[in-house]
Amino acid sequence: MLIRGADVGGRIRDVRCADGRVREVAPDLSPRADESLLDAGGGALLPGLHDHHIHLHALAAALSSIRCGPPEVEDLEGLRRALAVEPDERGWLRGTGYFESVAGPLDRNLLDELRHDLPVRIQHRSGAMWFLNSRALAALGIADTAAEDVARPDEEVAAIERDPKGRATGRLFRADAWLRDRLPTSAAPDLAAVGRRLAAYGVTAITDATPTNGSDEAGRFRAAQASGALPQRLAMMGRLAATGPVDPGDPMLRVGAHKIMLDEPALPDLEQLVDTIRAAHARKRPVAIHTVTRAEIHFALAALTAARVLPGDRIEHASVAPPEAVEIISRLDLAIVTQPNFLAERGDAYRANVDERDLPHLYRVKSWLEAGVRLGGGTDAPFGHPDPWRAMHAAVERRTATGDRLGREECVSPETALALFLPAFSRRPQPNDETAPAIEIGDPADLCLLAVPWSRARLDLSSDHVSATLRDGSLIFSA
């Protein structure tokens, strides 16, 4: 492949790719007989993007689910309309993205009122909770008293909420894997739709941060990559054991960190967390600890300090990071993966619900880099929007949907925002000099071509500008 006339680091260059690598970058390369040509027309040629925190199977499911939260659904009537549709091939209605601003806390009674004729399950926006109506509870074998349940999840991994009389309320916590095992089987989630969509954003690599990933998921990812349905490279986080037949030399699928969820109302014993981290390290696996609240980040840091840090250890989200946590993270040399898109998507709710003391510490970007912390960006799709360009835009603007600015001191340049979604984590803010990252000879030919030069794209960070995406020098998307 010969890419002609691209904006490469501010200069117009031709770029030759062969055998999956960038082989030549020069002002005027002559095409070879066997080469395909791509005319860049002066558009910026960037390294392919890496979404450092995403959930592929959940995203595939969400793309074929009913949206039940803002901005599509704002109130009870909106929810009623959204649910007035035909069921899926299993005879169920599956909704995602519910948030309490729509109709307060959901439970089976409210859901029965909206739809009682077929099983309904709706996921909370956080991903931590499912709401089921009575038909759905019955279909899953959850009885009105715990003693009569046909099937009950292991309380370590999932919980069924019951009222004081023992009747199931319709709320299930952390029950994804359990639900998947009980629901009538259907076709495997369509990773092709996800792969196509991410390729159209310029994404050539992803880190799947799903804690329950194991050998089944590894097999499904490999099959999707082999068929071309999932054209991106993948690092798969997940459980400590049972990642299945993953070849350590495979450039397309590698095993990522062992993912650990923390949940403030139910934090584990500190010693237990230290042991879990040590067990992962003993297998040469770094850990990725999910923290959202102030208590969670301090708890994670106490455990990591005791267990000692392995290169590659990271904190996911660090949604609230008080100054002392930034200092400890810098000292321990931990990496952070942040989601600036949540400021745009959820910022108004944060403003209303987050402790005022914590507002300036939300989804930091600049402070991490100024403290020399390795930083990457992830959309957390489907819990955030999967378009990394929206996240970059949010990192620059930090504006909520109603236009308020959250944490002005944390705003960064477009160049720094782009760097969050490149394969290597950054360690410092990029100079605000309108220069896109250079493409070097020998780099993997994983590339994202824009229709406009970087000097224009940086003023309007949007996936609309992506005109072609290449992985290993082959087109995986072309506008």
Q: Give whichever of 380 and 415 is closer to Zn ion, judged by the CB atom.
A: 380
* Minimal distance, residue 122 CB to Zn ion, in Å: 19
Q: Give whichever of 115 and 317 is closer to Zn ion, judged by the CB atom.
A: 317
| Size of interface with Zn ion, in residues (CB under 5 A) | 2
Q: Give whichever of 379 and 430 is closer to Zn ion, judged by the CB atom.
A: 379
Report which of 33, 34, 42 is spatially closest to residue 14, judged by C-alpha positions.
42
* Minimal distance, residue 202 CB to Zn ion, in Å: 21
Contact present, 241 and 269 (Cβ < 8 Å)? no
Q: Give whichever of 176 and 380 is closer to Zn ion, judged by the CB atom.
A: 380
Cβ atoms within 10 A of the Cβ of 216, count?
Answer: 13
Residue 296 contacts Zn ion per CB under 5 A: no
* Minimal distance, residue 259 CB to Zn ion, in Å: 9
Distance (Å, whole) CA 422 – CA 205: 9
Q: Give whichever of 233 and 317 is closer to Zn ion, judged by the CB atom.
A: 317
Tokens matching residue 81: 């309309």
* Minimal distance, residue 400 CB to Zn ion, in Å: 21
- Reported as half-sphere exposure (CB side, CA atoms, 13 A), residue 426 has a value of 24
* Minimal distance, residue 127 CB to Zn ion, in Å: 7
Distance (Å, whole) CA 419 – CA 424: 8
Sign of the dihedral through C-alpha 263, 265, 268, 271? positive
Q: Give whichever of 202 and 378 is closer to Zn ion, judged by the CB atom.
A: 378
Tokens matching residue 210: 């799903």
* Minimal distance, residue 387 CB to Zn ion, in Å: 16
Torsion of CA 267, 362, 206, 244, to 10 degrees: 0
* Minimal distance, residue 290 CB to Zn ion, in Å: 7
Q: Give whichever of 76 and 158 is closer to Zn ion, judged by the CB atom.
A: 158
* Minimal distance, residue 273 CB to Zn ion, in Å: 19
374-413 binders of Zn ion (CB under 5 A)? 380
The answer for 116, left when phi > 0, alpha when psi is -120 to 50, beta otherwise, is: alpha
Give 55's DSSP letter: -
* Minimal distance, residue 53 CB to Zn ion, in Å: 6
Question: Which residue's Cβ has the minimum distance to Zn ion?
Answer: 380
Distance (Å, whole) CA 173 – CA 128: 6
Q: Give whichever of 367 and 379 is closer to Zn ion, judged by the CB atom.
A: 379
Binding track, positions 156-195, relative to Zn ion; x by CB under 5 A: ----------------------------------------
Q: Give whichever of 7 and 51 is closer to Zn ion, judged by the CB atom.
A: 51
Tokens matching residue 209: 């941060």
**Could you tell me which stretch among 93-101, 202-210, 274-282, 424-432 binds Zn ion (CB under 5 A)?**
202-210
Give 352's DSSP letter: H
* Minimal distance, residue 380 CB to Zn ion, in Å: 4
207-226 binders of Zn ion (CB under 5 A)? 209
Q: Give whichever of 159 and 209 is closer to Zn ion, judged by the CB atom.
A: 209
- Reported as half-sphere exposure (CB side, CA atoms, 13 A), residue 27 has a value of 1
Q: In what order do the strands lie in the sheet containing 159-162?
A: 66-67, 93-98, 120-124, 129-132, 168-173, 159-162
- Burial (CB < 10 A; 0-12, 13-18, 19+), residue 416, is buried
**Could you tell me which stretch among 175-183, 203-211, 319-327, 351-359 binds Zn ion (CB under 5 A)?**
203-211
- Residues interacting with Zn ion, by CB under 5 A? 209, 380
